Amino acid sequence: MTELTQFTHESHFLSWLVFLPTLGALACLAAPSAKAAKIITVLTTGVVMILSFGLFKTWMGTPIDVFGPSYGEGMHFVAMADWITVGQAQIQYLLGVDGLSFPLVILTTVITFLSALAGWNIDEWKNNKGVRGYCCLFLILETGMLGVFVALDFFLFYIFWEIMLLPMYFLIGVWGGPRKEYAAIKFFIYTLAGSVLMLVALVAFYFYAPAGHQTFNLIHLATDGAIQDAFNNSTFLGRSFSNTMFVFLFIGFAIKIPMFPFHTWLPDAHVEAPTPISMILAGVLLKMGAYGLFRISYPILPESGQWAAYFLGVLGVVNILYGGLCAMAQTDFKRLVAYSSVSHMGYVMLGIAIMTTEGFQGAMFQVIAHGVSSPMCFFLVGIIYDRAHHREINRFGGLWLTMPVYGSMATLGFFASLGLPGLCGFIGEFWVVLATFAAPMEGAQTLAILAAFGVVITAGYILWMIQRVYLGPAKEEYKGYPQANGRELFILTPLAVLAIVLGILPKQSLFDFMNGTLMQITGLWETAGEPVKQIAAATLGGG
């Protein structure tokens, strides 16, 4: 069983990172004006982003053995304290970051800061009031998201997961579009249903663990042999305990990803949400579902992951093809981008389902790549919506001639989403297809071929959209549109840079940071031959 080491000189770092937005939220409530609340929000998210960059010091310049310590021993910035004791149950305030959570923390702070800037014109939104309330909820949402990615106690993870739910519900339901109440309630019901199943698994994990081994510690649950044996040999309502809990957790996380057939809340939420909230929804919240599978389902219940592997792989392919075809059928610009997210996240599910190191690496890269390209695409839609006040694709045309700088940024952003080689979207999808084709699972090659066909569908709807919106002669009604302003370019530029850097330098920008932890999770390096290890080390690097 892996023991977590407490670094006392670093133990408060993650706590400040997680709860500084909450302090900013309180400051927003006391702000003397709406403008002051917006300034506090931007400053707070900016400080949190800069603070998160301090995590780089653990990885930069310090080579880490790919085949090094076991899962959990490479955890950094650990904060550990007793929190709640109920009878024999001990719940800990336990935070930590490793190669799995580190990229997601950075992604969260960057996207949240850029989304705060994107919401600077909140007081201009039609029929919307309460700037202080918006800013307060926005910052509480950041606390919930960061808490999910650094919590190592299952109960604490669940608390942060629920903290995230309410702010998002109100941010959509109060500041959204014409059908905002419907979209917010649908999002709430779907997510809450998944949370209930997750709560059942949380409680069951504790009570089904053998005496003396009962814990909510996610690392102990994954590395304690006695707990693993108990889960694999127990029954729940007459069925395999581990398989039943895996299904419960999968549904809870699949709703958030979202996976077919639990995806229907996403297009409605995206269409009705204001642009900054769509950016966070696509860039961060969808990633929480994938993170839950990486951190909880597969480390704790690996045999059940193998049991469900082919079925989940099929679901991943269904997501890819179904989401792409639905995107192609859309005439609402924002709904098209929303369905494209359904398609792209299918590659994440497929990569996870095959349960190989390469599959996990491709899936995780796709998580981060989509977290960069999708918020950029939603913001690009938001820019033109602020000017045209509609999102009908067939009404646009020639926008590249009218707004050449915006058109250039839009082309880069949507090509990154398309998966053009040299941009971020290509690496993850290619790596997942390659890993699936080589996977030992029966039928894997068929899944890989179908997933590869999804790339063709993606190219189809992206190129067709670009032709209708940005190419062709400039239309008279759009000739007076102003260029993207300084604030909009300031938001688009870092996303464009990240899309290029991830596409050109995938090893240095991401693989080096996450590979060590992902290979610990899969455990495949323990049985791999030396030639396989050497090839993996040379190709993917360590971290």
Q: Collect all residues with Cβ–Cβ distance below 8 Å to 64 and sequence separation of at least 6.
A: 74, 516, 542, 543
CA distance 96 to 71: 13
Using 50, 70 and 90 to split pLDDT, how confident is the model at 15? Answer: very high
- pLDDT in the model for residue 2: 56
- pLDDT in the model for residue 369: 94
pLDDT one-digit tens code per residue, 274-299:
999 999 999 999 899 999 999 999 99
Res. 533: pLDDT tops 90: no
Owner of token pair 């950016």:
279
CA distance 366 to 382: 24
> What number of helices (H) and strands (E) belong to the chain?
26, 4
Contact (Cβ atoms closer than 8 angstroms) between residue 345 and residue 258? yes
Any idea which of 92-96, 255-259, 419-423, 517-521 has the lowest mean pLDDT? 517-521
Q: Which of 341, 332, 423 is closest to 381 using CA atoms? A: 332
Share of residues in the chain with pLDDT > 90 (%): 50
Q: Which of 322, 283, 305 is closest to 451 using CA atoms? A: 322
Using 50, 70 and 90 to split pLDDT, how confident is the model at 539? Answer: very low
CA distance 436 to 425: 17
Using 50, 70 and 90 to split pLDDT, how confident is the model at 542? Answer: very low
Res. 535: pLDDT tops 80: no
Which residue type is seen at 402? T
Q: Collect all residues with Cβ–Cβ distance below 8 Å to 310 and sequence separation of at least 6.
A: 353, 441, 442, 443
- pLDDT in the model for residue 525: 38
Q: What is the DSSP string of 282-323?
A: IIIIHHHHHHHIIIIIHHH-HHHHHHTHHHHHHHHHHHHHHH
pLDDT one-digit tens code per residue, 415-464:
999 888 999 989 999 999 999 998 888 888 999 999 999 999 999 999 99
CA distance 71 to 251: 25
Between the alpha carbon of residue 256 and those of residues 41, 261, 263, the distances in Å are 26, 12, 8
CA distance 396 to 390: 10
Residues in the chain: 543
pLDDT one-digit tens code per residue, 348-386:
999 999 988 889 999 999 999 999 999 999 999 999 988
Q: Pairing between strand 89-97 and 235-236?
A: unpaired
Contact (Cβ atoms closer than 8 angstroms) between residue 333 and residue 392? yes
How high is the mean pLDDT of the chain?
Answer: 86
Please state the φ and ψ torsions of residue 354, each to the nearest 5 degrees.
-75, -15
- pLDDT in the model for residue 459: 92
Q: How is residue 401 written in tokens? A: 């001639």
Average pLDDT over residues 9-31: 87
- pLDDT in the model for residue 295: 92
- pLDDT in the model for residue 11: 67
Between the alpha carbon of residue 503 and those of residues 319, 343, 352, 537, the distances in Å are 23, 19, 21, 20
- List the beta bridge partners of residue 92: 82
- pLDDT in the model for residue 84: 83
Q: How is residue 340 written in tokens? A: 């494209």
CA distance 440 to 261: 27
Q: Collect all residues with Cβ–Cβ distance below 8 Å to 345 and sequence separation of at least 6.
A: 257, 258, 259, 286, 290, 319, 323, 366, 370
Using 50, 70 and 90 to split pLDDT, how confident is the model at 124? Answer: low
b/e map of 102-136 (b: 16 or more CB within 10 Å)?
bbbbbbbbbbbbbbbbbbbebeebeeeebbbbbbb
pLDDT one-digit tens code per residue, 53-74:
988 877 665 544 443 567 777 7
- pLDDT in the model for residue 411: 92
Share of residues in the chain with pLDDT > 70 (%): 91
Q: Torsion over CA of 355, 359, 364 and 368, rounded to 10 degrees?
A: -150
Chain Cα centroid distance, residue 73: 24
DSSP 482: P
Q: What angle do CA 459, 346, 202 make, to 5 degrees?
A: 160
Q: How is residue 423 written in tokens? A: 């941009």
Please state the φ and ψ torsions of residue 81, each to the nearest 5 degrees.
-155, 145
pLDDT one-digit tens code per residue, 138-184:
999 999 999 999 999 999 999 999 999 899 999 998 888 888 899 99
- pLDDT in the model for residue 524: 35
Res. 20: pLDDT tops 80: yes
Name which residue leads in pLDDT, 542 or 343. Answer: 343
Between the alpha carbon of residue 180 and those of residues 135, 465, 482, the distances in Å are 18, 26, 29
CA distance 512 to 536: 12
Res. 129: pLDDT tops 70: no
- pLDDT in the model for residue 152: 93
Output the 3-class SS for 187-205: HHHHHHHHHHHHHHHHHHH
Average pLDDT over residues 123-137: 74
Res. 257: pLDDT tops 90: no
- Report helix angle 444-469 to 333-353, nearest 10: 160
- pLDDT in the model for residue 214: 85
